[in-house]
Amino acid sequence: MGIFNLFDRFKASASDRSPWGDFFFEPVSVRSVSGMRVSADSAMRLAAVYACVRILSETMASLPLVVYRARADGGKDRVTDHWLYRLLGKKPNRYQNPFEWREMLQGHLALRGNAFCQILANGRGEITELIPVHPDRVRMELLAEGDYRYRIQNQTGHELVLPRGEVWHLRGLSSDGLLGLSPIELSRESLGMALAAQDYGARFFNNDAKPTGGWIEFPGNFKDAEAKRVFRESYQAAQSGANRGKVLVLENGMKFHEVGVTNKDAQFLELRKFQITDIARLFRVPPHMIADLDRATFSNIEQQSLEFVMHTMTPWAERWEASIEADLMLDGDELEIEFDFANLMRGDAASRSAYYQSGIQNGWLTRNEARIAENLNPIKGLDQPLRPLNMIEEEDAEAQESEGEGKDPADAADADMPVEPDQQMSKRLRKLIEANVQRLARRISKKGSLDAQEITLIAQALGLQEPVVRAWALSQPSTDEPVLLKALIQLGNST
């Protein structure tokens, strides 16, 4: 029997419309042309489907969920004291933790295209629980005024009718904007073929890895059809069940001819491999992530893993974020929801080290931020960003150029004249003090205050006693940068 004939057995039962057949008792879309029943549950019998659904669900459940509040300067502040964070990040309902809850809902989305939760809220409108509901027990009902509601069949058989505002509905790809499309139903024929091939392989090895069937050569004729049927049934009883493998005895010149393995049977493994790739394509999961390494190399696995984050998980995360912000937040909550992909994009130790080094040396990452990213506790004194010595901000460069243009030409001439070593040291110290006071003036003007910390910093930079600097600070009328810069230069020169 070739692989292209392995569906014949199922076609017969699929077309059985007798009182003993299943034709009239199955949903219209359950059976595939191959004769296999294909549903979200039966598809999980395929190892590739289970692996893809598990990867999507576990990855989605493991992403840290962060609640932000936007700042006026474009930054974001994490929020951990809001009821939405406690609901989604700590305890979504009385039965599940956040990982189990998100894993379950993502599994419903991957297999059925829809995920549902019943919303329970308190008197202030804050959601206290999100109770998941199995999609197979939910039916959407359109109302006359254009709205819709949900009919939920609970486990006791009773029907619960809920308005749209009491159900959180996560949709996958949809053709009408109401219900998501089921990937399993859309790929019924492909998955039915995979299930049929899997069952065929199981029957093949159950038959001692021999092709099913054979034929018996009989030189004579049976008396009638009944005699032929009796012989066939007695032969099958003698060679099946507990009698499998026993010596076969034939009479009247009969000869048994075994059917050999054909070229079509030899293509069985190739078909099975293609089906794994086809299922990975359905869920948009890189084949190497479900242990199909036929086309994986050391040079492309890392790129495929990045593509999995960018093209598979990012759209799922965006779908979750948009639905949470649209359906679960109150009108006055100016919050943003985001799934953090930093852990998936970490890379190896060498890549992370280069990333941190670049950020710290260029001043856009502090050393404590790098430590926190590596799960290390911050250290006091490492919160300030570093500035490269060979780089300066544009506004500071313009200020230095304007100062240079106002200098006395005689000073410039003196700069070209040879000077004694003591004079060189004096000039170096003066330049060092001027550089320090420029940085101090810029920092204090941005902060807008002269507090104890700034007084200590000025004393250390200029080598003065803190009481002297404190007395000087009390006499300063303004923290505007030009005024403060002039006063700091005078203070530095006084030393």
Question: pLDDT tens digits, residue range 383-393?
Answer: 888 877 666 66
HSE of 189 in the Cβ direction (CA atoms, 13 Å)?
A: 1
CB 132 within 8 A of CB 152: no
* Range among 55-69, 216-230, 431-445, 477-491 with highest mean pLDDT value: 55-69
Amino acid 424 reads Q
**Angle (CA) 412 405 396, round 5°:** 115
Average pLDDT over residues 51-78: 91
Predicted local distance difference test score (pLDDT) of residue 263: 46
Structure tokens at 462: 């200029």
Alpha carbon distance 153, 157 (integer Å): 6
Which has the higher per-residue pLDDT, 201 or 394? 201
- Please, what is the Cα angle at 430 between 429 and 433, to 5 degrees? 85
Do the Cβ atoms of 190 and 282 come closer than 8 Å? yes
Residue 219: predicted pLDDT:
76
Place of tokens 């050391």: 298
**Terminal-to-terminal C-alpha distance of the chain:** 102
Phi (first) and psi of residue 138, to 5 degrees = -115, 135
Most confidently modeled range among 272-276, 366-370, 403-407, 464-468 = 366-370
What is the DSSP-derived secondary structure letter of residue 344?
A: T
- Does the pTM exceed 0.85? no
Q: How far apart are CA 145 and CA 297, in angstroms?
A: 57
Q: Residue 381: in which H helix or E strand, if any?
A: none
pLDDT tens per residue, range 411-428? 544 545 554 555 665 666
Task: Please check whether residue 171 is in contact with residue 180, taking contact to mean a CB–CB distance below 8 angstroms.
Answer: yes
Predicted confidence at residue 85, as pLDDT, reads 93
Mean pLDDT of all residues in 187-192: 89
At 55 the pLDDT is 96
What is the overall mean pLDDT for the chain? 79
pLDDT at 34: 74
The DSSP symbol for 393 reads -
> Of residues 11 and 161, which shows the higher confidence score?
161
DSSP string, 187-231: THHHHHHHHHHHHHHHHHHHTTT--S-EEEE-SS--SSHHHHHHH
Q: What is the DSSP string of 78-108?
A: E--SSHHHHHHHT-SSSS--HHHHHHHHHHH
More confident: 174 or 408 = 174
Confidence band for 154, pLDDT divided at 50, 70 and 90: confident
**Residue 155 burial by Cβ neighbours in a 10 Å radius (0-12, 13-18, 19+):** exposed
Confidence tier at 452 by pLDDT (50, 70, 90)? confident
Residues near 295 by Cβ (< 8 Å), separated by ≥ 6? 287
pLDDT value at 166 more than 90: yes
Q: How far apart are CA 142 and CA 49, in angstroms?
A: 33
pLDDT of res. 349: 77
Task: Please report which confidence band the pLDDT of residue 135 belongs to, taking 50, 70 and 90 as the band edges.
Answer: very high
Retrieve residue 288's tokens: 């190497």
The residues, ordered by sequence, that sit 6+ positions from 363 with a Cβ below 8 Å of its Cβ are: 385, 386, 387, 388
pLDDT tens-digit map of 202-235: 777 766 555 555 667 777 777 788 877 877 777 7
